Amino acid sequence: MGIGTLYRHFPTREALLQALMRDRFDGLARRASGLLAEPSPRDALLAWLTAVAAGSATYRGLPESVMAALRDEGSELHASCAAMRAAGSRLLERAQAQGAVRADVTTEELLALAAGVAWAGEQSPNRPQMAQRLLSLVMTGLTH
């Protein structure tokens, strides 16, 4: 696809980024919904957090975009962000109901942890291994 074709579909850089982020948020919501069938609620939550962290590492500023879109109901990304957050909340609530995750953990905290893991993973020369190790530590902390 050439730059002309790109700009015919997306008149501004922001329009392109919104389309990409909307696709990412919708994908995370679908992933969370699909993981509800996973027998282990802990493993399902870890798989979703891994996907959130990977998305946060791919799109710099993703956590800020999520929070801004959730606060602004007029945002083009609001519905996608809210659906992604709600789907993640269902995973968290399921894990909490089965005692796999502490009852006092909120979805906002979970998203903040995933964003922090993504940022820290970016700082390491062993990015994928570091992110996976940090997510493992986060899950251990969430269960005790």
Better-scored residue on pLDDT, 84 or 18: 84
pTM of the model: 0.80
Task: Give the C-alpha separation, 117 to 135, whole Å.
Answer: 7
Q: Is residue 84 part of a domain?
A: yes
Q: Is residue 8 part of a domain?
A: no
* Residue 88 pLDDT grade (very low, low, confident, very high; cuts 50, 70, 90): very high
Q: Is residue 101 part of a domain?
A: yes
Query: For the segment 14-70, what is each residue's pLDDT rounded down to a tens digit?
Result: 677 777 778 888 899 999 999 999 999 999 999 998 888 887 766 666 667 766 777
Q: Is residue 64 part of a domain?
A: yes
Q: Is residue 77 part of a domain?
A: yes
Task: Give the C-alpha separation, 85 to 81, whole Å.
Answer: 6
Task: Give the C-alpha separation, 46 to 117, whole Å.
Answer: 12
Task: Give the C-alpha separation, 136 to 71, whole Å.
Answer: 30
Task: Give the C-alpha separation, 51 to 118, whole Å.
Answer: 10
User: What CATH number is associated with residue 74?
Assistant: 1.10.357.10
For residue 109, what are the contacts with CB-CB under 8 A and spacing of at least 6? none
Query: For the segment 101-122, what is each residue's pLDDT rounded down to a tens digit?
Result: 999 999 989 988 888 888 887 7
Q: Is residue 71 part of a domain?
A: yes
102-110: long-range contacts (C-beta < 8 A, 24 or more apart)? 102/142, 102/143, 102/144, 105/142, 110/49, 110/142
Domain hosting 32: range is 20-143
Q: Is residue 2 part of a domain?
A: no
**Which residue type occupies 127?**
R
User: Domain count of the chain?
Assistant: 1
Q: Is residue 45 part of a domain?
A: yes
